[in-house]
Amino acid sequence: MLSTTLFPGRYVQGYDALQFLGNEIKRFGQKGLLIVDPFVADNLFASFQSSIEHEVKYHLERFGGESSDEEIERIGGVVQNVNAEVVVGIGGGKTLDTAKAVGYYNKLPVIIVPTLASTDAPTSALSVIYTPQGEFKRYLFLPKNPDVVLVDTKLVANSPARFLVSGMGDALATWFEAESTRQKFAGNMSGNLGSMAAYALARLCYDTLMEYGLQAKTSCEVHAVTPALERVVEANTLLSGLGFESGGLAAAHAIHNGFTVLEETHHYYHGEKVAFGTLTSLFLTGKSSEIIDKVYTFCEDVGLPTTLQGIGLTVVNDEKLMEVARAATAEGETIHNEPTPVTPEMVVAAIKVADAEGRRRQALFEDEVISSL
């Protein structure tokens, strides 16, 4: 049996790591196209601009908001116009997915700079493509991982804690999905089996979140870079990225993709929806009460959604849930990496139970608060 493990060319993480971005760009060329999230361009870019200018020339292009085919094509035209030699993505998950796709189509090296630890997208040889309206469209599988992933933990610590928590939600799925894929003997994102390293890293990702997640959130809330924050940033970015790509995806991300068909969920972050997809997957796959309680407790502690209302679905009926379930179980979706066959009806049932459990626990907590007054 053939196994494949996928890695980025180089992973750089630490306090003030952005001061070394110019050096990293220079290893690949003398002119970079910087695809930059508008918030980063307006509020953060000036803090590390000089570190780039001292090393290379660059053109800054503001990201349009969706990692869509249309946006990728638009920025591809800019690459040609400015004669860029390196593509650098600076921002959140969709900015980075767009940068990877632009680099691929234009046959250029790619440097990825996540300004938030909010997804595990940075390290992967994968771009998630959405429609211009924000609905999931397809996965774009790339022939290689980014040449460099650079994470400045000072920048992460100075961002709203909700982004870090969203990254924990994305990373929370990693071990459960890799384990399902392993049990099924299904392929990872390369199409081959995962390696021992991939499954071990996926488990380390989960254990790191359980041990340090709440500490990291607290650190981020006071804008402090601590060992706990460094560990969780690495778990959200590197461990989760390697774990999902080389271990495999399964139900949690497929259910997330299903939720994107409902416009009400579009204002919630990827990791927040993945977290609820993970809770749903626990019931779908018959996990023990001990694991279910542990994962719900973690989500409650760090502030991840545990109900449908938590991802914007205040009015839900069976018709809407079936729409989600059909999208989640579409041909080619990763939910079919679960060890047993999954039907739309099974997904609807699991979503209902996950929501009911979240609401039950919320009501119990509220009763305890009232009784303590």
Residue 289's Cβ-count burial label (10 Å; 0-12, 13-18, 19+) is exposed
* Structural contact between residues 76 and 113, judged by C-beta atoms closer than 8 angstroms: no
* Structural contact between residues 137 and 129, judged by C-beta atoms closer than 8 angstroms: yes
Type of residue found at 233: V
**Tens digit of pLDDT per residue, the chain (373 long)?**
799 999 999 999 999 999 999 999 999 999 999 999 999 999 989 999 999 999 999 999 999 999 999 999 999 999 999 999 999 999 988 999 999 999 999 999 999 999 888 878 899 998 989 999 888 888 899 999 999 999 999 999 999 999 999 999 999 999 999 999 999 999 998 999 999 999 999 999 999 999 999 999 999 999 999 999 999 999 999 999 999 999 999 999 999 999 999 999 989 999 999 999 999 999 999 999 999 999 999 999 999 999 999 999 998 899 999 999 999 999 999 999 999 999 999 999 999 999 999 999 999 887 777 777 6
Same domain, 105 and 173: no
The residues, ordered by sequence, that sit 6+ positions from 96 with a Cβ below 8 Å of its Cβ are: 89, 112, 113, 114, 121, 122
Same domain, 67 and 119: yes
Same domain, 85 and 231: no
Same domain, 169 and 149: no
Residue of 69, 270, 293, 355 marked catalytic: 270
Query: What is the predicted pLDDT for the residue at 121?
Result: 82
336 tagged catalytic: no
C-alpha span between 280 and 267 (Å, rounded) = 20
Residue of 16, 170, 293, 318 marked catalytic: 170
Task: Assess if residue 3 is contained within a domain.
Answer: no
Same domain, 140 and 173: no
Indicate the residue among 157, 177, 204 that finishes a domain. 157
C-alpha span between 81 and 73 (Å, rounded) = 13
Same domain, 225 and 134: no
- Token digits for 84? 């860029």
CA dihedral 336, 342, 347, 349 (to 10 degrees): -160
Other Cβ atoms within 10 Å of 24 Cβ, number: 24
253 tagged catalytic: yes
Same domain, 219 and 328: yes
Residue of 97, 147, 152, 256 marked catalytic: 256
Q: CATH number, domain at 323?
A: 1.20.1090.10
Query: What is the predicted pLDDT for the residue at 62?
Result: 97
Query: What is the predicted pLDDT for the residue at 134?
Result: 85
Q: CATH number, domain at 61?
A: 3.40.50.1970
Indicate the residue among 95, 125, 157 that finishes a domain. 157
Q: Count structural domains, the chain.
A: 2
Residue of 37, 253, 355, 367 marked catalytic: 253
Residue ranges of the alpha helices (H) in 158-267?
161-184, 196-221, 227-234, 240-247, 251-259
Same domain, 241 and 261: yes
Same domain, 151 and 209: no
Task: Assess if residue 4 is contained within a domain.
Answer: no
Task: Assess if residue 230 is contained within a domain.
Answer: yes
Task: Assess if residue 300 is contained within a domain.
Answer: yes
Segments forming the whole domain that contains residue 212: 161-372
C-alpha span between 11 and 75 (Å, rounded) = 25
